[in-house]
């Protein structure tokens, strides 16, 4: 599939943004750039590292796809990419990243809840 297909292009742009964003966050965390990163835990570093590694191995796979002959290292990069991505999926409910899902869902259900006063009026 050529690089300019919409799905491939979207994946490439998303991957670039993922690697750029996680790199910036890792540098900010390392430099203690603001107050919120002064209490970094191992889980915070692991999340950033896994996200960054997923993006970098994804680009390694894309590079391997466009080489004239498929390299043997491409299979190993694919194995690492899938293992890291699967680890992210399996650990997502136990990481801070879960708040990206939990919080909007909780706010949605709070908005749906009917207060006792509104229930008495109906």
Does residue 25 fall inside a structural domain? yes
- The position carrying tokens 């919120």 is 36
Q: What is the pLDDT of residue 116?
A: 64
Does residue 101 fall inside a structural domain? yes
Q: What is the pLDDT of residues 76-121, one digit of tens each?
A: 999 999 999 999 999 988 888 888 888 899 888 888 886 666 656 6
Does residue 1 fall inside a structural domain? no
Q: What is the pLDDT of residue 110?
A: 87
Structural domain that includes position 27: 6-121
Does residue 55 fall inside a structural domain? yes
Does residue 12 fall inside a structural domain? yes
CA dihedral 66, 71, 73, 76 (to 10 degrees): 80
Q: What is the pLDDT of residue 25?
A: 92
Rounded (5°) CA angle 19-105-11: 25
Q: What is the pLDDT of residues 14-59, one digit of tens each?
A: 999 999 999 999 999 888 877 877 788 888 899 999 999 999 999 9
Q: How many domains does the chain have?
A: 1
Cβ contact 57:83 at 8 Å:
no
Q: What is the pLDDT of residue 111?
A: 84
Q: What is the pLDDT of residue 48?
A: 94
CA distances from 28 to 22, 50, 67, 98, 99 (A): 10, 17, 35, 21, 21
Q: What is the pLDDT of residue 37?
A: 76
Q: What is the pLDDT of residue 58?
A: 96
pTM over 0.75: yes
């Amino acid at each position: 599939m050529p690089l300019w297909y919409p799905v491939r292009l979207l994946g490439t742009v998303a991957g670039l943004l993922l690697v750029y964003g996680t790199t910036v966050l890792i540098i900010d965390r390392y430099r203690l750039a603001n107050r919120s990163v002064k209490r970094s835990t191992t889980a915070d570093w692991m999340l950033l590292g896994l996200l960054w590694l997923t993006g970098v191995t994804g680009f390694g796979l894309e590079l391997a796809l466009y080489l004239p002959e498929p390299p043997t290292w491409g299979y190993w990069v694919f194995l690492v990419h899938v293992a890291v991505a699967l680890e992210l999926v399996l650990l997502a409910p136990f990481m801070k990243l879960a708040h990206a899902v939990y919080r909007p869902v909780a706010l949605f259900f709070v908005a749906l809840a009917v207060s006792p006063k509104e229930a008495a009026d109906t």
